[in-house]
Amino acid sequence: MLKDKKIFTKDAILAYTYLVVGCMLFAVGDVMFVNPYLMAPGGVYGLANVFHALWGWKISLAGVCMDIPLLIIGTFILGPKFGVKTVISVILIPVFTYVVETLWGYAPVIHDGAFFDTELQSSLFFMDGDVKRYFMPDFFLNTVVSGLIYGVAIGIIFRSGATSGGSDIIAMVAHKYTKISLGTLVLIVDSIISLTTLVAFEDIRLPIYSIILIFIESKIIDLVVEGVKSYKTAFIVTDHIDEVRDFIIKDLDRSGTVFAGSGLYQGVERKMIYVTLSRSDLVKLKSNLRFLDPNAFVNVIESSEIMGNGFKSLPQE
């Protein structure tokens, strides 16, 4: 007999809190920072920003009109891959976007000087009701701040176990019918969306800054999802297995795994230690290996994510 699963657990409440906060931050970043600078850093809402600038459509309306059909098409073609949290994020993002664009409008937060009623050289404009208001942009600072906000927002959404849907669904559908990797397809889709700003506004700066924003965003997402800790995995082939093992266990307070194997050239049997360490512990290990076994062979690789005993907990359903 299956045990009843608790719905309102601490982890579940935390996950949905992440989801709500992430969707709210995304809306703030898009309406108050990305949209006034006419940027389209990929995704459905990047395209919604272009539609808003060209035809005055509400970003929230354009976003939901693209997101929901994509979700339905994706479910029909790919099956029920999209969980409840993704559906909730597809609903919450346009809701928060509507609230921000209704209460705040489309005025930029970052600008170099005051707002003007007449167009100046190199100025951008936003609609204040039916009136065009102009401002002098600070593209670089706004791009950095937008990337930080977008990265934190989407990273928090990912931490909740959801995705933001949108253009990712297009990439997943294309991935099903092509041999192109999903990561490459996401990059292609987002790049095409970013290039729409060049076609729509004939300003080469806009896609360039949009791509810079995407780069900053991706790094912040990794930081939010994976944390700031950096781990390395070392494979150590040594004839002094006992000395190296004792140092790892007693001095570094870490465990690992010992494998037996034979050399490819001479066929001599040797043992190898597999161990995952923090950056500081790896420095200690390398410093002491010269005394423990000067002839040891060490291969160190970057570990993007470590789960299990002593590291990050395994994800729970």
pLDDT tens digits for range 237-264: 988 999 999 999 988 888 899 988 887 7
What's residue 255's pLDDT?
Answer: 87
CATH number at residue 279: 3.30.70.120
Q: What is the pTM of this model?
A: 0.79
pLDDT tens digit sequence for 113-144: 889 999 988 899 998 888 999 999 999 999 99
Distance CA 9, CA 2 (A): 18
- Is residue 284 pLDDT above 80, yes or no? yes
Distance CA 212, CA 218 (A): 10
Domain stops at, among 226, 253, 274: 226
Please, which residues have CB within 8 angstroms of residue 98's CB and are 6 or more apart in sequence? 58, 60, 61
- Is residue 213 pLDDT above 90, yes or no? yes
* 222 and 235 inside one domain: no
In a domain? residue 88 = yes
Number of domains in the chain: 2
Domain stops at, among 194, 226, 258: 226
* 211 and 278 inside one domain: no
Higher pLDDT, residue 298 or 80:
298
Domain that holds residue 249: 231-303
User: Position 196: which residue type?
Assistant: T
* 218 and 276 inside one domain: no
Domain stops at, among 205, 226, 247: 226
